[in-house]
Amino acid sequence: MKRHDPFRHLFDEVADIASILSNNLIVSYDGKRIFPSATPHSIGIWSEAELEACDKITYECIRANHQRSPSVALPQDQGIDERSPSGTRSPSLAAELSDSDGGTESASGGDTFRLTLRSGKTKDIVLTVRSTTKCGAIVKAFLKKAGLADQYAGANAPAGGKGKGRGKKTRGVNNAGAGPMLMLDGDKMAPETEIGEADLEDALSLRTNGSHSAYSEMVVIANTEPLSLDTVPLRTGPPTATSCSCTTRAKFTWTQLKTFVNSGDLGLLKRDRKLQVRYDAWAKGIKAEHGSVVNYLLNYRLRWGEPDTLSLLRSALYEPSNGSATSGARPNSAQMSSDSDRTDSNAFGLPDIPEGSPLYFTADTPPELISIIMNDWPTPEIEHALIWTRLPIFPPTLPDPSESPLSARLHQDGLWGFTGTSSPPPSPSTLPACLPALAEWGVTPDKLVRSPRPTEEEEREIRAYGRDIDEFVKRRWVEREWETAWFVNPPVSRAKRLGCIGC
């Protein structure tokens, strides 16, 4: 890069590689933090320089460790090294980053990882482990370092079977609740699993003096000390899978959520109040940086025709090798647009609509006009995806709400549907029984906003407007594997430029 170029592009590239939001990336030079607007010239770089990068959690941990006194080193144990490469206890992660010279750890067992382990019973404990170290051995070293070994004697012993979980399940572990266990991004790690099998490639990686080191937050769970805000801080900005699963409990059952969707009032879908406070603070910063949340979405968050690599919450459908956001489109006979329908969209950060594209969203909408992302502020315990489309959801032939009762209904209620279930969705008549779950939001029957029950003819027409959406959802979330509730919020002023489907 040139000396007067800002570091913004570098921030975006590193954040993309690390699968984190660029807003959560901290970059420092010579021990001082730098910002995207800085340039090599402004910080005194003339030819080449070595920058350090980490996410906010790691950065905060580094700062906290700077204030702590050095600890007494313990002997090595089963591939775990609690000492710095120079043979003395590193007082902080920052010292490890700057002093590492690719010494004993790298030479004696492949890649090494610097792990910060967090528990409600102790202060953070930092261990350096090899990729071949088993999770049970890490827990054993943690308990020894924390002075808790006697309390959990025999914990994490294998329970028949050779559990080889890859950070997703704890197969072969029958005593999962009998003692402390490692948890990475909300997934329990089997004691016999090697730490290198975990999804540490998703953590921020740095290359220092030729040796590869990966940094990842890991959480140790003790059955006597459940995860809480003390063990997994809420942080700021969008939540990680760990903070979602450990600090935010589901407020609604799946049946209740389907009831809310099918009730006709999509306003009943509420965000957890803790996350709402966090979202409000995040949105304030986003507006200050981008001008508005809409600008942030259009110019940064939405990646048209590409997989969602920015979310901290990975979908089970995520495939890094897949170059498109959808499985592709097939030729169709929907209405095609002409040049006279085009508007200049460059100022809105939107892709141009190619000639011959549908006038509105269909099941065969070209992938480059779609951005499927995870909801960064989700409902706990479900996968919540957002399907953004460059095309409007409703066809241009839909009359003005003032001219058509059906159009007025769609503009007030939106659209919704269900896939992957052989039984009908919960009847709207069961809604009163579910309203107590919304008590903390002050929802009462008199505050509901929904249209009267449609006639049979209106119901057929409504289903027709949602047919393409339903087909699109079925293609992506195969019914034999997924049960989904999809919905389209009522059209707003931007409906002619952008559409969004929640799923």
pLDDT tens-digit series, residues 439-453: 999 999 999 988 888
Rounded mean pLDDT of 252-263? 92
Domains, the chain, with CATH or none: 8-49 (no CATH), 64-246 (3.10.20.90), 254-313+335-502 (no CATH)
For the chain, give me the number of helices (H) and strands (E)? Answer: 12, 15
Spatial neighbors of 94 by CB under 8 A, at least 6 apart, are 31, 62, 65, 66
Instruction: Choose from 3-7, 78-82, 231-235 the range with maximum mean pLDDT.
Output: 3-7
Q: Which residue has the higher pLDDT, 405 or 221?
A: 405
Which H or E run contains 262?
helix 254-262
Kind plus residue range of the DSSP H or E element containing 462 = helix 456-476
pLDDT above 90 covers a percentage of the chain that reads 23
Cα separation, 194 vs 135, in Å, equals 6
Whole-number mean pLDDT of the chain? 71
β-strand pairing of 112-118 with 211-221: parallel
pTM over 0.75, yes/no: no
- Is pLDDT above 90 for 39? no
302: nearest Cα among 357, 378, 383, 370: 370
Read off the pLDDT of residues 104-127 as tens digits, 9 standing for 90 and up.
Answer: 333 344 566 677 776 656 677 778
Give per-residue pLDDT as tens, 179-208.
677 776 556 677 888 887 765 543 332 222
Nearest to 180 by CA among 227, 133, 232, 222: 222
Determine the Cα–Cα distance for residues 116 and 38; give it in Å rounded to an integer: 30
The answer to whether residues 269 and 416 touch, using CB atoms and an 8 Å cutoff, is: no
